[in-house]
Structure 1
């Protein structure tokens, strides 16, 4: 099975595992049965969407749990490529919503609305073409 590369970290060689210290005082405080992380280790995982393997790096975990304050129960289930794709789709959906609310759109806004809507349809995120068909 393919191994997805991370845009910032290098995949470890076989058998290599990086372990870094965690700081529970910087993590979201939880009660048992969950625990805070004392250390983080590179974890090899399978993406829920594309089924390829990827590493959830120790540095990435530290960022998630100590900087972003994610709950210790939060888990990384998508590879970096699928995460980026999801972020792009969310941005397009937000842009679509904003363009749709525009009562008197300019020609440029109408063109952009069509592009965004057609992109969302191609990606399978939108099925109702009726709103964009009215603009033709």
Structure 2
């Protein structure tokens, strides 16, 4: 059964899964100084007729301001699925959030959320690790964070040795059995 066009792209919760046609399709005219398109959206990834005008005064001190954004086709560096980096999303990134024009979208929304979750998990791990006197619950949370980060490839397997030692010293807790099981599964998967 042939796939529908909308099935080709990972859905974005705000912008959907299909290009947003505007009828605007400017061409870059180097030398005239009127239209400058984004370096990370070359013609082969731009979706024609999806451009929106940029407000160059809101871009973060660019060397050369971008005058228009296009919906552009991307492939996620993590899951390898196709997604759209929408023109409206680019406008929001560069003009509202203040990202520099050098910033590029390389992950689909689900993988971006997963990445942010892992970064939050890593920060929590570091905060807990730095505590001199952790409670039993904080030790458990530290082990949970470490196991998640090892499984995601953010930490190496040497971390498992430290977590094994911490679990051996842990006071009895209802989560211990599950943590031991996760630790063994991660060790098996890393062999």
Q: TM-score range by the shorter chain?
A: 0.7 to 0.9
Is 1:6 the counterpart of 2:26? The answer is no
Structure 1: state its 5+ residue gaps: none
Give the structure-2-normalised TM-score: 0.63
Deviating beyond 6 angstroms after TM superposition, the runs of 4 or more aligned structure 1 residues are none
Correspondence list, 1:3-42, <5 A: 3-12=9-18, 17-31=49-63, 35-42=64-71
| Higher relative contact order structure (alpha carbons within 8 Å, sequence separation ≥ 6) | 1
Is 1:135 the counterpart of 2:141? The answer is no
Structure with bigger gyration radius: 2
Instruction: Compute the displacement of 1:2 (Å).
Output: 4.8
Structure 2: state its 5+ residue gaps: 1-6, 22-46, 168-191
Kindly indicate which of the two structures has a greater share of residues assigned to strand.
1
CA RMSD of aligned residues (A): 2.1
Give the structure-1-normalised TM-score: 0.86
Residue 78 and residue 58 in structure 1: after superposition, are their counterparts in 2 closer, same or farther (change >3 A)? Answer: same
State the match for 1:60 in structure 2: 89
Q: Deviations along 1:75-109, whole A, 9 cap, x unmatched? A: 11111111111111111110000010111111111
